[in-house]
């Protein structure tokens, strides 16, 4: 493997299937949220997948590493920030995954015009969590776009996913529990029926701070709440469930 690193960048180990990833402290780095989403989403052989707001491409990389998909179509990562899209493309080439992954620099709000209606079997997204103007808006534009709804809103994400998905296609997203009511309302308004939901807790005694949700376009109403996932033991170490997920061994009940 050969990675083209630029000034200010480093090469990190994804700790699964020998994958490595270019990151930089100058832009938004991936977190546990993205790792969980890549393992949570239900995929089938030959699914055509789009990851909206792909950042440095971590979700497509992890999706490509899943051992439950021996036969797969091309996975596309869509990223609006040119610097991150370039980083993601170099992560694809560095890991020699050009045959299965593609990075596109573009706005998800224009994704339908670019890819066409009902062109994907599965759409994933790790979107900005905070409305624009809420919270500590970083002066770093890369971080601000990743954390705040500057270039897209929750409604933009769900609306676009609904248009891109084939009938019975699946949409999976990671977000914050305090916006869960809004998330479900948006999904149902656009005929994406929530089918699975998982709450992630920092520790067993703490409230959840991550929600994973998956819906089916045109699905029948029936929401299954999965058992909670605990991230840390009381001593601060990762639980075995999280270690298994990072190692590519963890499987969510589907």
Residue predicted with more confidence, 142 or 129: 129
Q: What is the mean pLDDT of residues 230-237?
A: 96
Residue 61: which CATH number? 3.40.50.150
Give the model's pLDDT for residue 112: 98
pLDDT in tens, 61-78: 999 888 666 566 789 999
Give the model's pLDDT for residue 251: 66
Range of the domain at 81: 9-246
State the pTM of this model.
0.91
Of 226, 155, 215, which Cα lies nearest the Cα of 191? 215
Domain count, the chain: 1
81 within domain boundaries: yes
251 within domain boundaries: no
66 within domain boundaries: yes
Secondary structure of the chain in HEC code, one letter for each residue: CCCCCCCCEEEEECCCCCCEEEEECCCCCCCHHHHHHHHHCCCCCCCCEEEECCCCCHHHHHHHHCCCCCCCCCEEEEECCHHHHHHHHHHHHHCCCCCCEEEEECCHHHHHHHHCCCCEEEEEECCCCECCCCCCCCCCHHHHHHHECCCCCHHHHHHHHHHHEEEEEEEEEEECHHHHHHHHHHHHHCCEEEEEEEEEECCCCCCCCEEEEEEEECCCCCCEECCCEECECCCCCECHHHHHHHCCCCCCCC
4 within domain boundaries: no
Cβ-in-10-Å burial (0-12, 13-18, 19+) of 81 comes to buried
145 within domain boundaries: yes
pLDDT in tens, 141-184: 656 555 655 668 999 999 999 999 999 999 999 999 999 999 99
252 within domain boundaries: no
Dist CA 243 CA 160 (whole Å): 33
End-to-end CA distance of the chain: 34
Give the model's pLDDT for residue 108: 95
2 within domain boundaries: no
Residue 222 predicted with pLDDT over 70:
yes
189 within domain boundaries: yes
Q: What is the mean pLDDT of residues 193-204?
A: 98
């Amino acid at each position: 493997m050969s990675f083209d690193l630029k000034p200010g960048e480093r090469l990190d180990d994804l700790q699964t299937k020998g994958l490595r990833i270019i990151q930089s402290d100058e832009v938004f780095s991936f977190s546990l949220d993205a790792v969980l989403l890549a393992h949570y989403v239900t995929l089938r052989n030959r699914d055509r997948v789009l990851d909206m707001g792909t950042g440095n491409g971590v979700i497509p990389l992890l999706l490509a590493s899943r051992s439950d998909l021996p036969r797969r179509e091309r996975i596309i990562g869509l990223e609006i920030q040119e610097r991150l899209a370039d980083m993601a493309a170099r992560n694809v080439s560095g890991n020699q995954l050009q045959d299965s992954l593609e990075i596109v620099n573009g706005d998800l709000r224009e994704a339908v015009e670019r890819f066409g209606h009902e062109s994907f079997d599965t759409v994933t997204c790790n979107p900005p969590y905070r409305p624009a103007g809420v919270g500590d808006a970083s002066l770093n534009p890369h971080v601000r776009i990743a954390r705040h709804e500057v270039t897209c809103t929750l409604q933009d994400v769900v609306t676009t996913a609904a248009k891109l998905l084939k009938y019975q296609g699946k949409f999976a997203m990671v977000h914050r529990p305090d916006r869960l009511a809004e998330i479900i309302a948006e999904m149902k308004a656009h005929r994406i029926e929530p089918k699975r939901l998982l709450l992630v807790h920092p520790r067993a005694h703490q409230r959840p701070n991550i929600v994973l949700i998956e819906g089916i376009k045109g699905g029948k109403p029936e929401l299954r709440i999965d058992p909670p996932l605990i991230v840390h033991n009381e001593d601060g170490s990762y639980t075995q469930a999280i270690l298994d997920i990072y190692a590519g061994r963890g499987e969510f009940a589907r």
